[in-house]
Amino acid sequence: MSRLQVWASPSEASDMMFDVRQPGVTGLAYALLRPRSKGKERSLSRLAFAKMNPIEPGPTSPQTRCGMPTTARDHRLLLAPGVADPVSLERLFADYDEAVPEHQRLLAAVLTLPFVRGEPLHDQFDKVTTWAMLHLARARQLTSLAVLHAPGDQLAPEAPHAHIVVFSRIHNACGWAQLHPDLAESEHGAWAGRWLEFCEAWGRRPEA
């Protein structure tokens, strides 16, 4: 069985990561996934599968075009420019994990962006994915996975939100390169500032 098929609940997924939010910073949450934490080996594959499945998938769960089950409302893979189209999400995640050297200390960063209740989810998810494409893929050559969670689909009271799982290594046509310095523990405030600035610009509709 693929390790992607080992489901982790939202609380287990949170337990995999280090919450490195800075006091007083608002707009988004920031956490880091390291190869080892709390005495356990971690992988991007399992965290990504957990984010793709906030509810445990079953035989009748929807699937992505490449055959991965998903119970999230929506998702989007945002590839760095110039990299080849992956055969599947599972293969991309597994290739990344297999390329992790022993001395690598960061697998991914996870940005969590709250949505406004009552506003269309597709509008808010478009904003998230556009920001990720501009600031992560194009500006920093980072590949990421954006996932939309709508807890109300399961009658839960939590507000809808998006997670962006950011692969920590620069991604180019030759494969995985160095860790990006903008994913350090100290960068929460900087990412929140970029997001809030983008939200202000997003609200200004361009002239036709």
Mean pLDDT along residues 179-203: 97
Question: What are the pLDDT digits (tens) for 91-119?
Answer: 999 999 999 999 999 999 999 999 999 99
Does residue 40 sit within a domain? yes
> What is the DSSP secondary-structure string of the chain?
--GGGS---HHHHHHHSEE-PPTT--S-EEEEE-SEETTEE--HHHHHHHHH-SS---TTS-B-TTS-B--SSEEEEEPPTTPPPPS-HHHHHHHHHHT--TT----EEEEEEEPPTTS-HHHHHHHHHHHHIIIIIIHH---EEEEEE-GGGGT--SPPEEEEEEESEEEETTEEEEEPGGGSGGGHHHHHHHHHHHHHHHTSPPP-
Does residue 158 sit within a domain? yes
Does residue 207 sit within a domain? no
Does residue 88 sit within a domain? yes
Under the banding of pLDDT at 50, 70 and 90, the label for residue 4 is very low
pLDDT at 46: 96
Task: Report whether 144 contacts 165 (CB < 8 A).
Answer: yes
In this predicted structure, the answer to whether residue 129 has a pLDDT above a threshold of 90 is yes
Does residue 156 sit within a domain? yes
Does residue 107 sit within a domain? yes
Question: What are the pLDDT digits (tens) for 20-41?
Answer: 999 999 999 999 999 999 899 9
In this predicted structure, the answer to whether residue 2 has a pLDDT above a threshold of 50 is no
pLDDT at 5: 61
pLDDT at 206: 80
Question: What are the pLDDT digits (tens) for 190-200?
Answer: 999 999 999 99
pLDDT at 204: 85
pLDDT at 174: 96
Of the candidates 149, 150, 144, the one whose C-alpha atom is nearest the C-alpha of residue 164 is 144
What's the CATH number where 131 sits?
A: 3.30.930
Under the banding of pLDDT at 50, 70 and 90, the label for residue 180 is very high
Q: Can you give the residue range of the structural domain that contains 198?
A: 3-202
Does residue 208 sit within a domain? no
Mean pLDDT, the chain, integer: 94
